[in-house]
Structures are given as structure tokens and as C-alpha cells.
Amino acid sequence: MLHASLPKPTCINQTLITVLDQCKSMHELKKIYALITTLGLSQDDPLVSKILSLSALSDWGDINYSHRLFSQLHNPKTFYWNTIIRGYSNSKNPNPSVSVFIKMLRVGVSPDYLTYPFLVKASARLLKLELGAAVHTHVLKTGFESDRFIQNSLIHMYASCRDIRYARTIFDGMLTRNLVSWNAMLDGYAKCGDVISARGVFELMPERDVVSWSSLIDGYVKSGEYQEAMVVFENMRAAASGTKANEVTMVSVLCACAHLGALEQGRMMHQYVIDNGLPLTLVLRTSLVDMYAKCGAIPEALNVFHGVPMSRTDVLIWNTVIGGLATHGLVKESLELFTEMQIVGITPDEITYLCLLTACAHGGLVKKAWDFFDCLGKHGMTPKSEHYACLVDVLARAGQVADAYQFISQMPVEPTASMLGALLSGCMNHGKLDLAEIVGRKLIELEPDHDGRYVGLSNIYAAEKRWDDARTMRDAMLRRGVKKSPGFSFVEIFGNPHRFIAHDKIHPDSEKIYVMLKFIISQIQHDTNYENLENCMYDMKDV
């Protein structure tokens, strides 16, 4: 009678499936699996499938635990192999997905159309073109080359590995394409820096979604065409489809605002995020901090930063705010924030020390810079060329140019243009023209096609009144066909950024601008009549 009162096996299974559906952590999952093992159901197909999927694919999962459970199964079927391969392809280390696939082949289990996209994704994330091509060969041998899911994955993989031509070959050979296919090709061109081809694909798309718009915007940002990125964003907002931006879109748009120094536009983008109910994730908050900091709005950057609970921050957002403070000369504040960062338990990384060295450069803190540089080695980090360049900048700004030159000579890495450029600036600022000439010549050897290197050395000769040598530099530029790139600046007026280049006639208000400029120069020369100057500027406030 006691045995008759127990639930039937199917009822137990259904109950356990329901419990697994409500599982929210690895701790809970392990307890449930212990119960399943006690009940002798560790080989039950629906339960095993559910447990493997949760532990391998959930945000809170543990792919290594999932793999251990998988290893205990008797003759696992293809779906289980695919689950482990997929879990590793999404993990921080996608490499094991390949070894699992090889073992799958060795034990005689046949891959299906779902196996290959996960392997292709792993190849893309590892940026291993040869591995991706080998997987592609398997696809051809097993007859899945016409599967659209696999083709879309291959387009993404080849584009990620910078073989955009082969990605296009697959795209052009597809019998049917869906939105994912078009987006994969568009994103591929954008990632490879070919925004012209990306725009061409975008214009031909039969339909678009937020991924399409975001890929094109990101392509323009990565190519340095920030103003065009903002134009595309505005077109997206005005499109008849009514596409709304997501987190990815806004990260790219905020990056464009940061590089343009477009504070008012950045504020409007912040308001767009709030008005459209986009969750202020840590990534989005970090982008907002970066935008405000680069636009010089430090109080607003700190306001966003302090809006994140300290327990939910990561090293990236701390680096962003420390670097922002350092760049604007708020050295004391940036160092205090670094101390606070350590107190709350955030471990500094290589970027953190780069930001700290920048702070030391702006504050003339030579000894502290050496201490931070030494900390890299003490914490198991190898200094990169950027760290060496920053330390050279610290020494050069402080006038210790001889020490900086000796440091460069003894470095275990080859000197870069940024290191020598920092040293050259220090030599010029502190009147060390003999050393400046040596550094200037090394810069020309390093970058013979860089116009600024010739101009810099020419200026050194001019400062010493060595006019023939200065003229020689100009002649050398002509012989190599090097042209001086015009300098330009951005200014934001009523939320709209304007680009100004010397002798520019393209700006729609250039005539008014030059009238105003001529007037300002005349007033400065005469050093009188500033009241008229103020009135004139007020009259031309619409320029």
C-alpha cells in the first residue's frame, strides 16, 4: 500500500521539469540535480536535456559543470553534443567547442545542421580564419551548404576574420536571403571599415530593423565619420518604420557625440534613452560617462557614475571616469577616485594604470608616475607601449627630457611615434633644441609619410634661425609627395556641431564668419571700442 501511494514516474518527471523551469541559479540547479540522481533519473532524456541547456546556456550557467554532466551520459545524442558546443561558443573561451566537435566525430556521432553554426560562431569569436574555413569544408562534405542558418553564420565569420570578399561570395550565392543575411553582410562591411559598401547594402535591403541601422551607424563611427553617424541616427528616428534605438545603437551614437564634442546632442541622446525606457545598463552608463567627460561636462559625468550602485560597477566604468578627470587636469580627484576604487574591491587593470599615468602627466607627478609604472609588474601585468609612451610624456612635460631619452633608449620595446612625439614636444617646450633635432629626425625615419614630422623638424630649425635646413624639410616633403593636412576644429552652436578649417570657404556662413573675424582682428589691433565688438557679436548671433 505504501508503494501504491507514491507518485507515478511520469508525474515525478513533470514535477521536476516544472521545478527546473523556475530555476534561477547554479546553486539551485545543483540541488535539483542531486535529487534527480538520488531518484535514479540522471539518464532521463527530458530531464538531462533541460539540465544541460540551463547550465550551458543560461546567463548564470556554468559550461564546465554542464560538460562534466555530459561526460557521465551513456551514448549522448547529437542534441546533447550541440548543447555543449553551443555553450562553449558563447563562453569566454570558445576553444573547447572545437575539441568537443572533434571528439563527437571520433565516437561516430553525425553532426546536423545545428552543429555547424555554433562552430562557425566560435571561429568568428576566436578570429581564426583557418578554423572557420575547415568548418566550412565539413559543411560542404556533409551537404549542408544550402542551409540558410549556416550560410548566415559563415558570412559573419568570414567578415569578422576580414575576408569580406568570401563573405560576399557566399551572400551572392544564396538562393534565398532573409533579414539576418542582409544584416550579416552589412555588418561585415561596417566592421571592415568599408562604409561605402555597407551603405550600398543598406540601400538595397528590402526591409530594415534596429540591427541594420545600428550596424551602419557603428560603421560610420568606427571610420571616424561621426557627423554622418548622427545623420543616419536622425534618419532612423524619422523613418516610416518607426524603428527605435536599442542599447547597441545608443552606445555608438554617444561615442559619435563624444568625438564631436557635441555636448547638447549628447544630452539629447541621454534624454532619448530615458524617454524611450531603455534600461540604463552598465555599458550604457559607461558610454554616457565617457561622452560627458570628453565633452568637458565633468559634473554630469560624475552624476551618471555615482548613480550606479558601487556593488554593480566594473573596472571599465571606473577607468572611464578616472581617465576623464585626468584628461581635464583634475589630478587630485582622479587619484582619490582610484583609492575609492580599491576600497570597494575593484581590481585595477592595464587601462587603469594608463589613466593614472595620464593624470601624473597633467599634474607633473614624476615620482608617483614611476610608482604606478612599477605597480604594473608587481601585479603581474606587462607594460605595453602605451604605458611607456605615457611615462615618457610625464618626464618630458616635467622637463626631464634627458631622462626620457635615456628611458626610451633602454626600453625592452621599440620606440613608437607617440613616445618620440611626446619627447619632441617636451624638448620644444623646454628649449632643448639639440635633442629635439635628434628626436625629430628619428620621427621622420619612423613615419616618412607623416606631414607633421617634417613640419615639426622644420619648426625646430626655424626656432634656431637655420632657414636653409628648414627649407630642406619643405623640399623633402615635396619630393616624397607629402602634403600638409589642414588642421580643423569643432564647435557646437545651439546643439549643432560646426567644423572649421583654415581658409575654408565651404561653410554656409563663411562670408559672415570672415567678416566677423576681420572685425575682431581689427579691434584687437586697436585695443579699443570693445562695446562695439560686443554689439556686433550680438547682431551676428545667428551665424
Give the mean model confidence (pLDDT) for residues 361-384.
93
Indicate the pLDDT class of residue 255, thresholds 50, 70 and 90.
very high
Give the separation between CA 405 and CA 407, rounded to whole angstroms: 5
Give the mean model confidence (pLDDT) for residues 477-490.
67
Give the separation between CA 490 and CA 486, rounded to whole angstroms: 13
Containing H/E element for 158?
A: helix 148-160
Q: Taking a C-beta distance cutoff of 8 angstroms, is the pair 425, 396 a contact?
A: yes
Instruction: State the pLDDT at residue 436.
Output: 84
Asked if residue 541 has pLDDT above 50, the reply is: no
Give the SS3 label for residue 85.
helix
Could you tell me which of 305, 246, 295, 286 has the C-alpha nearest to residue 495?
A: 295
Which region among 128-137, 217-226, 512-521 has the lowest average model confidence (pLDDT)?
A: 512-521
Could you tell me which of 176, 122, 169 has the C-alpha nearest to residue 149?
A: 176
Asked if residue 44 has pLDDT above 90, the reply is: no
Instruction: State the pLDDT at residue 5.
Output: 47
Asked if residue 412 has pLDDT above 70, the reply is: yes
Asked if residue 513 has pLDDT above 90, the reply is: no
Asked if residue 542 has pLDDT above 50, the reply is: no
Q: Taking a C-beta distance cutoff of 8 angstroms, is the pair 392, 423 a contact?
A: yes
Give the separation between CA 116 and CA 125, rounded to whole angstroms: 14
Mean of the per-residue pLDDT values of the chain: 88
Instruction: State the pLDDT at residue 332.
Output: 95
Could you tell me which of 388, 335, 337, 342 has the C-alpha nearest to residue 363?
A: 335
Give the separation between CA 89 and CA 400, rounded to whole angstroms: 50
Give the mean model confidence (pLDDT) for residues 128-132.
96
Instruction: State the pLDDT at residue 372.
Output: 95
Instruction: State the pLDDT at residue 493.
Output: 65
Instruction: State the pLDDT at residue 2.
Output: 40
Q: Taking a C-beta distance cutoff of 8 angstroms, is the pair 298, 330 a contact?
A: yes
Give the separation between CA 164 and CA 421, rounded to whole angstroms: 35
Instruction: State the pLDDT at residue 233.
Output: 97
Instruction: State the pLDDT at residue 537.
Output: 44
Provide the percentage of residues in the chain whose pLDDT is more than 70: 90
Instruction: State the pLDDT at residue 437.
Output: 85
| β partners of residue 498 | 491
Instruction: State the pLDDT at residue 444.
Output: 82
Give the SS3 label for residue 500.
strand
Q: By CB neighbour count within 10 A (0-12 exposed, 13-18 middle, 19+ buried), where does 3 fall?
A: exposed
Could you tell me which of 287, 294, 345 has the C-alpha nearest to residue 323?
A: 294
User: Mind listing the domains of the chain with CATH numbers?
Assistant: 309-380 (no CATH), 384-489 (1.25.40.10), 505-539 (no CATH)
Per residue in 107-122, pLDDT (tens digit) is: 999 999 999 999 999 9
Asked if residue 538 has pLDDT above 50, the reply is: no
Give the mean model confidence (pLDDT) for residues 178-201.
96
Give the separation between CA 355 and CA 362, rounded to whole angstroms: 11
